Each structure stands twice: as structure tokens, then as C-alpha cells.
């Protein structure tokens, strides 16, 4: 039913190789021949079969994107970046959701490996051992996780955490709590590290709670804990948690930002839409997705291990933070 290269060749009065060349290495075909071929192909509705091509070139023209939870608003943004950049290079992206399960994640990689040129692995939750095992099956680019010897796209959480605490200190806060994310999350460890560093430098009391799942409900949970701890500010692992904090605080009649300041990480769309709007460390989500594909492409083309790219982050001050009350 689909037009093949042979039919085009016959119709255009050339050999199949010429048709093939007209598409893959046009500079090797005489101008007018090429035009004739392309026109004929167009007319016949010919589209090269990528599977057949891949069989011989060894490249599939596909990449994979694996995320822990597609319903976490952070990841759709990343995926949009991945997908947009892939489309520009005529690459297609296989989507997979590991459901926050490291084991499922590792299985997905193995099974996907055969039909992709590489995989963008977002916020991998795998253990070091699983990681070592997965590396090697196919070209992997990590997003939001640093892995020794593997290319990755990172974000400057140390800087972001510093900005968050500087902001809080400028407002007079001295006692804050950090609501942790998943224990398996590299970003959580990194954000915590940044917070600790800054807290020590600034002489701020930093209490760490958790780990918690990166979801709204954890914030609801954590808010009560923070309240009991008597702090004046809460830094959440991500915006989803922070939103949960906001809701719980409102329910308990604690005015934000008057009685408690709240900061998140991510800057998901909803962060700007709540009342009060959320102060948060904004992350370049789409850009990270695009960059991850670039890194992958670079790796495939030149084989150079570009190592780790780190993207800047910046605090967006909205309405959920204010000077500490006397």
C-alpha cells in the first residue's frame, strides 16, 4: 500500500540508489536529476521507511524519554522541550512513565534500548547499582541527576538554594524548615546540600523534615510539622509540596505570608496562579529538555562526552514570602 523506493525509481527513470541518494546525500546527485526524483517522490506520496533505513544504518532516528511521573507538572514541560527539539531534527520520541519505580525504570531502559539511538532519562530514581547496569545498554543522557562519567543536564540548585535563603534572611527569617523530596532523588539531595551550605554561611537554623513524595499531600503533611517546629519559613522540595503547604496553612488559619513564608522549587504553571502566588526557585524546564536532546545528539554524532551541563536557576519572588513579623 505504501510507495517504495523502487516504484519511485521506476517512475523517475533512475536506479534506486539515485533515489536513495537524492534523499540522504543530495549533493551527490545532479541538480536536475535530484529535482526529478524529488518531484516524482512527492507525486507518488513516497516517504522513506525509517525502519528499513535503520536496519542498515544502525540508527533508528528515535529517542526515548523516561520520566518518573508524567502527571507531575514539572515533566510535561521537560517533555515539551525534548519533543520540540527532537522534531527539529526529524527525530521521534518514545515516551515512558516509570511510575516512580526504579525497577520499572531500569526495565524500560533495557527494553527500549533496541529501538532508540539514545534515551533522555529525567530525574532517574535508580540506585547506583541499577544505574551502572543500565549505562552501556544504550546512550543515556541524564536530566536532573549527576552520574559520574555520564553526560547529564543539571540545574544549579546550590545557587537556587542560596538565592532562596538570601531572600529569606533579607526578610529577617532565622529559623526555617526544608521539606524534603524523595530519598532517591538527586535533586533532593542537591537542594538540601545547597540549603545547608547557605544556612551555615548565613547563620540560619535549618530543620530538615522528610523525605516525602514530591506531591501535594506531602505539603499538607509537612505544614503541620513545620508549624509545630515553630519556624517562620518553609522551603519545600517542589512547588507541588509548597502548594500543599499553602492549602494546609490556609485551612488552619495561618496567614501566608504574614505568619509564615513559603518557597518552592520548579515554577510550575500553577505556582503563579495560587493565592497568594508562590515564591519559587524557577527551573529552566523546557530548555533542559532541549539541551538534553542536544547533548544526546552531540554524543551520537561526535562521541564526545560533553560531561555535565549546568543550567542557571533563579528565584521568582511572588506573594508567599514577606518580612518576618515582630
* Binding segment toward a copy of itself, per CB under 8 A, in 22-30, 36-44, 143-151, 247-255: 247-255
Cis before 128? omega within 30: no
User: Which letter, b or e, does each residue of 44-56 get, where b requires 16 or more Cβ atoms within 10 Å of its Cβ?
Assistant: eebebeeeebeee
Is the Cβ–Cβ distance between 263 and 313 less than 8 Å?
A: no
In whole angstroms, how close is the CB of 81 to DNA at the nearest point?
28
**At a CB cut-off of 8 Å and minimum separation 6, what does 321 contact?**
167, 168, 171, 233, 257, 261, 262, 263, 279
Contact residues: DNA, CB under 7 A:
2, 4-6, 13-21, 23-25, 28-30, 33-34, 46-49, 52-53, 55-57
Give the chain's radius of gyration (CA, Å): 25
Q: DSSP state, 27?
A: G
Q: Binding marks (x or -) toward a copy of itself, 52..91, rule CB under 8 A?
A: x-xx----x-x--x----xx-x-xxx-xx--xx--x----
Binding of residue 216 to a copy of itself (CB under 8 A):
yes
| 28, 170, 183, 273: residue in contact with a copy of itself (rule CB under 8 A) | 273
Which ranges of 122-238 would DSSP assign to H, the alpha helix? 128-134, 157-170, 186-202, 216-229
Distance CA 85, CA 75 (A): 15
| 6, 30, 47, 103: residue in contact with a copy of itself (rule CB under 8 A) | 47
Binding of residue 269 to a copy of itself (CB under 8 A):
yes
Binding of residue 28 to a copy of itself (CB under 8 A):
no
The residues binding a copy of itself (CB under 8 A) are: 2, 47, 49-52, 54-55, 60, 62, 65, 70-71, 73, 75-77, 79-80, 83-84, 87, 92-97, 111-115, 216, 243-244, 247, 250-251, 269-270, 273-275
Amino acid at each position: 500500500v505504501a510507495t517504495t523506493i523502487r516504484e519511485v525509481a521506476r517512475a523517475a527513470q533512475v536506479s534506486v540508489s539515485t533515489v536513495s541518494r537524492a534523499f540522504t546525500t543530495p549533493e551527490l546527485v545532479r541538480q536536475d536529476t535530484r529535482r526529478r526524483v524529488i518531484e516524482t517522490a512527492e507525486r507518488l506520496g513516497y516517504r522513506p521507511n525509517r525502519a528499513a533505513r535503520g536496519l542498515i544504518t544502525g540508527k533508528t532516528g528515535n529517542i526515548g524519554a523516561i520520566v518518573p511521573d508524567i502527571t507531575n507538572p514539572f515533566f510535561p514541560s521537560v517533555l515539551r522541550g525534548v519533543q520540540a527539539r527532537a522534531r527539529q531534527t526529524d527525530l521521534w520520541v518514545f515516551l515512558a512513565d516509570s511510575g516512580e519505580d526504579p525497577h520499572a525504570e531500569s526495565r524500560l531502559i533495557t527494553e527500549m534500548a533496541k529501538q532508540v539511538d539514545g534515551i533522555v532519562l529525567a530525574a532517574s530514581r535508580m540506585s547506583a547499582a541499577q544505574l551502572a547496569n543500565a549505562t552501556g545498554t544504550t546512550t543515556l543522557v541524564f536530566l536532573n541527576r549527576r552520574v559520574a562519567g555520564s553526560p547529564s543536564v543539571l540545574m544549579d540548585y546550590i545557587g537556587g538554594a542560596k538565592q532562596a535563603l538570601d531572600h529569606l534572611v533579607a526578610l529577617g527569617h532565622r529559623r526555617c524548615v526544608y521539606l524534603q523530596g524523595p530519598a532517591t532523588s538527586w535533586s533532593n539531595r542537591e537542594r538540601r546540600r545547597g540549603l545547608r551550605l547557605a544556612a551555615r554561611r548565613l547563620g540560619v537554623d535549618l530543620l530538615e523534615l522528610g523525605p516525602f513524595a514530591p506531591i501535594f499531600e506531602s505539603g499538607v503533611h509537612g505544614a503541620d510539622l513545620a508549624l509545630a517546629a515553630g519556624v517562620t519559613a518553609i522551603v519545600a522540595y517542589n512547588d507541588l509540596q509548597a502548594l500543599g503547604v499553602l492549602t494546609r496553612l490556609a485551612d488552619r488559619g495561618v496567614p501566608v505570608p504574614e505568619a509564615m513564608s513559603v518557597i518552592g522549587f520548579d515554577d510550575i504553571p500553577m505556582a503563579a496562579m495560587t493565592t497568594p502566588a508562590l515564591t519559587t526557585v524557577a527551573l529552566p524546564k523546557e530548555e533542559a529538555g532541549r539541551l538534553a536532546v542536544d547533548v544526546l545528539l552531540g554524543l551520537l554524532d561526535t562521541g564526545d562526552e560533553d560531561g555535565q551541563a549546568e543550567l542557571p536557576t533563579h528565584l521568582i519572588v511572588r506573594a508567599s514570602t514577606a518580612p518576618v513579623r515582630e
